[in-house]
């Protein structure tokens, strides 16, 4: 695999703990100790400032900026509609003055450093001793139930110092973005409140109140983009100060300053640190009651999967149809906050089986941005709708033509996700009123983007880039051809099964879908070419892949990772090295269409060529390895997936968390060791307990029933809170499960 863990945090089943400051991992810790609540996210930077490199990042879902200087391409189809998530105000800004000297965090002047993040409350605590002068503790909390609300608490305990201390609490709109000056213009400074805007006509209003444990006097000070409230006092006893903060995003500048102030005051009157702590605790308890994954006998992976669960629910739980899941969530600026095709292929299965409403809202994001996808298809000289490879608002935000113009995984992923969602929810209302319109436009795109060969015996896609991303301008990428075929086929199936419905008829008329168009798609489906060798049972990733020069990936030095930073760009494309699963990816998505022998042949051929440079790669390999009985590989890949960020396997956690990989870790254990298969006519389970695990337990939601699956080496127990309406297959035997406990003995 060529990747080595860099563990430096304590192992704990319910917390992250950094005992002692690890200076070389400062940026990594900023990412790992990030907090979010779908509405906003804050990196774990130092409130009091840090003299060395730091990414002070605060982000809001859907709050984006566009470049001032748009680079117009000379070539049609290359996107110039760029946009990116913008770094917002630092509302945890604190500066400490000892006498008249500014103190910022300095590793050489502190001792007894400790930082923790509690998965059961969402509370982050950081404490240390400054020389022999005083101890200081910082606490942070974002409210889950009231997403506009966050809290900060500071405690200073004197040791051998009694003298003047000044604390400056601020709202800093002067934050940098990608190391350059930010985009905010401050419109109004109020006492403990500021209103600013960006050029995209989006406002951010930040207001706070201080809770003091004594009658300190404070005064306000404003300068440029910084709003300060300053306290000065003599430190004689322990001082505790809490700050409640409200952040209101006004995306259309539709609210007046009075409206925003009134909303903020309304929230602040009800706010308190302890109230939010209790509310968060209740939320997480209910969440883990329904979704916890328990591993006995493997504490490292127990911590890893719980961290994944914690960050996943914080990043997205389907509060709004306007939100999607950025590759870095709300934890960093890498990938510019954009959502990719991971949302439908890796994230949606998690929500499909834990929170179906959230899964539906992920798809509604795509429906609400269908017009942008139509526009993109026209830019590529195609019909229908082409969904962007990277986006926040539905427009293509990637200016790398080889990705934005050659990769169609997002478009096929939307069609696949509609199929997968409807199959496992029977939500015909969504399919008829929203899904079908998307499916028609997606099918049209794949019909118009594909081409016949010279004698019209084969149909497929020329000049494309598949999921691997280490090969571009290839012909007949197997994944693209297969998913394009299935996208068209599913649209036709829906049309033929629901053509009588008035809404379907209305959509057919509005989109001018003709029988001739459908007949053409049927011919294209029949002639879709999949490069396959019946003797070896191997699907060729694309035409010519087998002839590429071979490279032994295990000879690549670990110091060369990530490759994009250490190899010239063109060097990556000149061999048979694979970034992430391509053929194996479609064998995961349509798992039950391939027999075990075919899966084995393709896994054995492609896995040794895969460098896992993508954070999405290990989980798919773990799932297929488990199915094939390669249990050591399955467990190793699972550890890689669950601790991708905790152990900084890819040497880039400092840029932000791999949120879609975090979702893939859930998919890994439920589809991998749990053996869940959701792409066939009946839901299947085939749990297996890895050799050095004592037991494990996971939960999933299916047609109104919450199902708890407890697995040992000898039996599985399924606990249901109500009768299951649909049959389920366990170890190839069909069951009609009822409320209560069902025990099934495992045959060895």
Q: CATH number of the domain that 460 lies in?
A: 1.50.10.10
Specify the pLDDT at position 184.
94
Q: Is residue 10 a part of any domain in this protein? A: no
Regarding whether 107 and 153 lie in a shared domain, the answer is yes
Eight-state DSSP code of residue 478: H
> Which CATH number is 192's domain given?
2.70.98.40
Q: For residues 360 and 323, which has the higher predicted lDDT (pLDDT)?
A: 360
Task: Give the residue-averaged pLDDT of 309-326.
Answer: 94
176 found inside a domain: yes
pLDDT of residue 650: 79
Res 118 pLDDT > 70: yes
Backbone angles phi, psi at 381, to 5 degrees: 60, 35
Burial class (CB in 10 A: 0-12, 13-18, 19+), 202: buried
Strand partners, 226: 172, 223
The domain in which residue 609 lies consists of: 297-680
pLDDT of residue 437: 98
| Whether 147 and 251 share a structural domain | yes
Mean pLDDT of the chain: 95
Query: Residue 16: what pLDDT?
Result: 98
Nearest alpha carbon to residue 425 among 438, 435, 411:
435
Residue 257's pLDDT band (cuts 50, 70, 90): very high
Query: How far is the C-alpha of 698 from the C-alpha of 675, rounded, in Å?
Result: 12
Which of 629, 650, 680 is at the close of a domain?
680
Question: Average of pLDDT values for 114-143?
Answer: 97
Q: Is the pLDDT of residue 3 over 70?
A: no
Residue of 33, 82, 3 lying closest to 336 (CA atoms) = 82
Do 394 and 538 share a domain, yes or no?
yes
Query: At which residue do the structure tokens 């942070």 appear?
Result: 140
Is residue 740 a part of any domain in this protein? Answer: yes
pLDDT of residue 654 exceeding 60: yes
Considering its fold, how many domains does the chain have in total?
A: 3
Residue 662 in domain: yes
List the single range of 178-187, 484-493, 592-601 with lowest mean pLDDT.
178-187
Do 585 and 708 reside in the same domain of the chain? Answer: no
> Over the stretch 350-403, which tens digit does the pLDDT of each residue have?
999 999 999 999 999 999 999 999 999 999 999 999 999 999 999 999 989 999
Question: Which of 159-173, 421-435, 556-570 is least confident?
Answer: 556-570
Q: Which residue, of 634, 649, 680, is where some domain finishes?
A: 680
Domain-ending residue, one of 287, 309, 334: 287
- CA 72 to CA 60: how far, in whole Å? 28
| Phi, psi for 183 (deg, rounded to 5) | -115, 5
Residue 156 lies in a domain: yes
Q: Residue 548 — φ and ψ, nearest 5°? A: -70, 150
Please indicate whether residue 100 or residue 124 has the higher confidence score (pLDDT): 124
pLDDT at 73: 76
Confidence of residue 748 (pLDDT cuts 50, 70, 90): low
In this structure, is residue 76 part of a structural domain? no
Record the tokens describing residue 609, joined without a space: 């060529």
- Average pLDDT over every residue of 165-190: 92
| Per-residue model confidence (pLDDT) at position 213 | 72
* 504 lies in some domain: yes
Confidence band of 258 (pLDDT split at 50, 70, 90): very high
Task: Place 197 in a pLDDT band, splitting at 50, 70 and 90.
Answer: very high
CB within 8 A of 58, min separation 6: which ones?
A: 40, 41, 42, 43, 87, 88, 89, 90, 91, 92, 175
For residues 434 and 479, state if they share a domain: yes
* Domain membership flag for residue 686: no
Bridge partners, 528 (sequence order): 459
Residues 503 and 478 in one domain: yes
Count the helices and strands in the chain (H runs, E runs): 21, 33
Q: For residues 619 and 666, give the distance between their C-alpha atoms in angstroms, rounded to a whole number.
A: 9
Q: Is 427 found in the same domain as 279?
A: no
Report percent pLDDT > 90 for the chain: 87
Q: How is the beta sheet containing 101-103 ordered, strand by strand?
A: 101-103, 90-98, 163-172, 226-235, 218-223
Judgement on whether residues 201 and 312 belong to the same structural domain of the protein: no
| Residues 724, 592 share a domain | no
Are residues 683 and 677 in contact, defined by beta-carbon separation less than 8 angstroms?
Answer: yes
pLDDT-derived band at 518, boundaries 50, 70, 90? very high
Q: Taking residues 90-109, what's their average pLDDT?
A: 94
Residues of the chain with pLDDT > 70: what percent? 99
Mean pLDDT of 535-560: 94
Let me know whether 303 and 367 are in one domain: yes
HSE at residue 745, side-chain half, CA atoms within 13 A, is: 2
Let me know: does 505 contact 498? Beta carbons within 8 Å.
no
Asked whether residue 628 falls in the same domain as residue 505, the answer is yes
Per-residue pLDDT, 661: 86
450 with 474, same domain: the answer is yes
């Amino acid at each position: 695999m060529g990747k080595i863990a860099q563990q430096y945090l304590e192992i704990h089943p319910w917390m992250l703990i950094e005992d002692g400051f690890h200076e070389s991992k400062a940026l990594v810790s900023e990412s790992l100790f990030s907090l979010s609540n779908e509405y906003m996210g804050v990196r774990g930077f130092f409130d009091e400032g840090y003299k060395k490199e730091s990414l002070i990042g605060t982000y809001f879902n859907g709050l984006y900026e566009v470049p001032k200087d748009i680079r117009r391409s000379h070539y049609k189809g290359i996107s110039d509609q760029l946009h990116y998530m913008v770094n917002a105000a630092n509302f945890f800004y604190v500066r400490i003055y000892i006498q008249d000297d500014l103190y910022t965090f300095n590793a050489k002047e502190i001792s007894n450093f400790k930082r923790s993040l509690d998965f059961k409350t969402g509370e982050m605590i950081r404490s240390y001793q400054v020389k022999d002068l005083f101890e200081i503790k910082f606490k942070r909390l974002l409210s889950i139930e009231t997403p506009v609300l966050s809290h900060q608490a500071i405690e200073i305990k004197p040791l051998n110092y009694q003298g003047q201390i000044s604390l400056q609490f601020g709202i800093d709109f002067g934050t940098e973005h990608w190391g350059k000056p930010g985009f905010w213009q401050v419109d109004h400074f109020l006492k403990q409140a500021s209103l600013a805007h960006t050029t995209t006509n989006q406002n951010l209003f930040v207001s706070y109140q201080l809770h003091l444990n004594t009658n300190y006097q404070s005064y306000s000070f404003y300068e440029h983009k910084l709003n300060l409230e300053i306290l000065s006092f003599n430190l004689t006893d322990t001082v505790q100060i809490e700050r409640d903060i409200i952040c209101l995003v006004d995306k259309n500048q539709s609210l007046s300053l009075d409206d925003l102030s009134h909303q903020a005051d309304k929230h602040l009157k009800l706010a308190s640190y302890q109230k939010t702590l209790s509310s968060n605790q209740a939320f997480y308890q209910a969440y883990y009651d329904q979704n916890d994954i328990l591993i006995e006998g493997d504490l490292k992976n127990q911590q890893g999967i719980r961290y994944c669960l914690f960050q996943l629910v914080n990043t997205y739980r389907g509060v709004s149809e306007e939100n999607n899941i950025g590759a870095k969530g709300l934890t960093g600026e890498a990938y510019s906050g954009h959502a990719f095709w991971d949302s439908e292929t890796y994230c949606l299965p998690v929500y499909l089986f834990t929170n179906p409403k959230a899964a539906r809202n992920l798809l509604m994001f795509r429906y609400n941005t269908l017009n942008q996808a139509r526009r993109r298809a026209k830019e590529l000289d195609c019909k229908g709708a082409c969904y962007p490879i990277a986006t926040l608002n539905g427009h293509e935000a990637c200016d790398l033509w080889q990705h934005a113009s050659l990769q169609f995984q997002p478009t096929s992923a939307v069609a696949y996700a509609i199929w997968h969602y409807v199959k496992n929810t029977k939500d015909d209302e969504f399919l008829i009123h929203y899904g079908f319109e998307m499916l028609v436009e997606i099918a049209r795109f794949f019909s118009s983007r594909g081409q016949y060969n010279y004698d019209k015996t084969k149909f497929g896609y020329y000049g494309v880039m598949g999921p691997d991303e280490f090969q571009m301008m290839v012909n007949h990428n197997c994944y693209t051809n297969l998913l394009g075929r299935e996208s068209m086929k599913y649209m036709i199936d829906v049309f033929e099964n629901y053509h009588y419905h008035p809404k379907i008829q209305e959509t057919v008329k509005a989109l001018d879908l003709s029988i001739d168009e459908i007949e053409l798609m049927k011919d294209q489906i029949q002639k879709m070419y999949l490069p396959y060798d019946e003797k070896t049972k191997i699907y060729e990733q694309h035409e010519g892949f087998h002839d590429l020069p071979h490279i032994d990936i295990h000879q690549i030095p670990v110091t060369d990772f990530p490759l994009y930073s250490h190899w010239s760009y063109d060097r990556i494309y000149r061999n048979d090295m694979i970034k992430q699963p391509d053929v194996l990816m479609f064998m995961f998505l349509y798992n039950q269409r391939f027999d075990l022998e075919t899966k084995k042949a393709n896994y054995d051929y492609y896995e040794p060529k895969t460098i896992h440079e993508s954070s999405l790669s290990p989980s798919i390999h773990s799932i297929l390895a488990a199915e094939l009985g390669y249990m050591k590989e399955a467990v190793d890949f699972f550890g890689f997936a669950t601790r991708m960020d905790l152990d900084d396997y890819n040497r880039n956690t400092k840029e932000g968390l791999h949120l879609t990989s975090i979702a893939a870790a859930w998919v890994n254990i439920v589809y991998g060791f749990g053996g869940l298969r959701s792409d066939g006519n009946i839901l299947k389970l085939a749990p297996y307990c890895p050799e050095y695990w004592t037991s494990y337990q996971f939960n999933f939601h299916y047609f109104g029933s919450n199902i708890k699956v407890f697995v040992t080496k000898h039996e599985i127990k399924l606990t249901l809170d109500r009768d299951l309406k649909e049959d389920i297959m366990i170890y190839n035997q069909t069951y009609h499960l009822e409320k209560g406990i069902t025990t099934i003995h495992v045959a060895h």
